[in-house]
Chain A
Amino acid sequence: MFHKYSKMDLVNIFIKSAFIENLVLSYFLGMCSYLAVSKTVKTAFGLGLAVIFVLGITIPINWLITTFLLSETGVFGHDFTFLRLILFIAVIASMVQLVEMVIEKFSPALYNSLGIFLPLITVNCAILGGSLFTVTREYTFGESVAFGLGGGFGWFLAIIAIAAIREKIRYSNIPAPLRGLGIAFIITGLMGIAFMSLLGIDPAAF
């Protein structure tokens, strides 16, 4: 489990999850908060940081739960996978709460800048999606840590990029019905295609 050697090393997984299989741009995960909180770069930056943080923590924890509590080789010796969704969402909700309290205690400045975004992350599909992906892709512990951080970083990049673009186009002459949401969708589509060009850096392709 901890010692399984994998062909892909951890850096590759990080790069892959951040750029090539970006959670927002190729899996549409976390779209709701991505569209709702990308009006200015400053708020997007806060939410992006919070997502990296929570993804980096919850994905390894959910990996531990799947491996040691829910699987047949785990502590209870029975297959409890039907409880997976409920446990994952409970872990995410409580981790978000915990992270919020810890940050408030140790770094009030960061807490103030993240503030309202932390509770929003509970229903950010990127977190639950990331946790479920580690199960379906059968990652090891180290890989799931790399995947969590990489996925969070990719999410962060995507939301900063769209926020910067939306700030720039605010005064552009866009057809009224397309203004706001419509154009944000089309820009996201173009960004997705742009990110696809990074497919060339996929180490598995060589």
Chain B
Amino acid sequence: MAETAVQEPKLKTQEPLFGTKERKLLIDPLNENNPITVQVLGICSALAVTSLVYPSVVMAIAVIFVLAFSNLFTSLLRKSIPKQVRMIVQLVIIASLVTVVELTLKAVNFEVYKQLSVFIGLIITNCIIMGRLEAFAMANRPWRSFLDGIGNGLGYGAILIVVALFRELFGKGSLFAGSSLEMKIIGPSTEYWLNSTNGWLSWYQNNNLMVLSGAAMFIIGIIIWIHRSWNPKLVDVS
């Protein structure tokens, strides 16, 4: 191979593929820059799915996928997108990816698809995605945008799954209901794990409030409270 022999001398020093900056992109959204508790984005489409853990995990994976790849594609196209129509271009990229996710889920797991109903489609208007495209992918190189997408998706998914764990455990007494991992933890009958030995928890009643939409609000309010008292930089001063 003659061509490989005449390599151009590299003027710029090669940046590491996974250095401190890249790690920061992945870790930051989990804490100091969390999309839900700090940036207040993307609450819209997802809270309704948090009454069970399993659909929340599916939703989190779907959002990570859409966010990472829409960031990647927008970043690849960022120099050729005209300023005036960039919103439309971004919406089309997001909508196509969401359609891919929707059809895949429909084929792979129809039960969860029915449970999530319109909320998979609503990933399009999830403000995190538009927000990250505008704020990050339009100004950064593809690999970093991809990592930023994964990081923000993880930050979003973490909150989603924490809320769902509380709501399902106290509202239904089970965890991962509907999947093959289904666990029955706490409840009045003996098929629940905590009550199985001698039925000492037979008086227990599940808290129906946790199944209602209001409970998701309370739990997120409390998560924000804890997060901000732990990290006082984030306190709202206005």
- Please give the residue numbers on chain A whose beta carbons come within 8 Å of chain B beta carbons, in ascending order: 25-32, 35-36, 82-86, 89-90, 93, 122-125, 127-129, 132-133, 136, 175-186, 188-190, 192-193, 196
Contacts and interface: CB of A to CB of B under 8 A. Distances in A.
A19 to B, nearest CB: 14
Given A125-B122, A132-B121, A196 B99 contact: no
B102 interface: yes
B173 to A, nearest CB: 21
A136 B113 CA distance: 12
Contact of A89 (B45, B95, B127, B212): B95
Most A Cβ at <10 Å: residue of B48, B96, B228: B228
Nearest to A193: B214
B92 interface: yes
A85 B130 contact: no
A125 B92 CA distance: 16
B91 A93 contact: yes
A7 B98 CA distance: 35
A136 B122 CA distance: 13
Contacts, number: 139
A178 B226 CA distance: 9
Contacts of A180: 236, 238
Given A177-B229, A196-B212, A125 B125 contact: yes
Nearest to B38: A181
A187 to B, nearest CB: 8
A123 B127 contact: yes
B117 A136 contact: yes
Nearest to A182: B224
Interface string B204-238: 00000100111111101110111111001001101
A28 B47 contact: yes
Q: Which 7 A-B pairs rank lowest in CB-CB distance, beginning with the nearest?
A: A189-B217, A180-B236, A177-B228, A185-B221, A125-B44, A132-B118, A189-B214
21 contacts: A28-B44, A28-B45, A28-B47, A36-B40, A82-B99, A82-B103, A85-B99, A89-B91, A89-B125, A90-B88, A93-B87, A93-B91, A124-B125, A132-B117, A176-B235, A177-B225, A177-B227, A178-B228, A180-B236, A189-B214, A193-B212
A129 B118 contact: yes
Interface residues of B, number: 50
Contacts of A179: 235-236
A165 B148 CA distance: 36
Nearest to B49: A28
Nearest to A177: B228
Contact of B221 (A27, A28, A182): A182
A36 B236 CA distance: 13
Interface in B56-115: 87-88, 91-92, 95-96, 98-99, 102-103
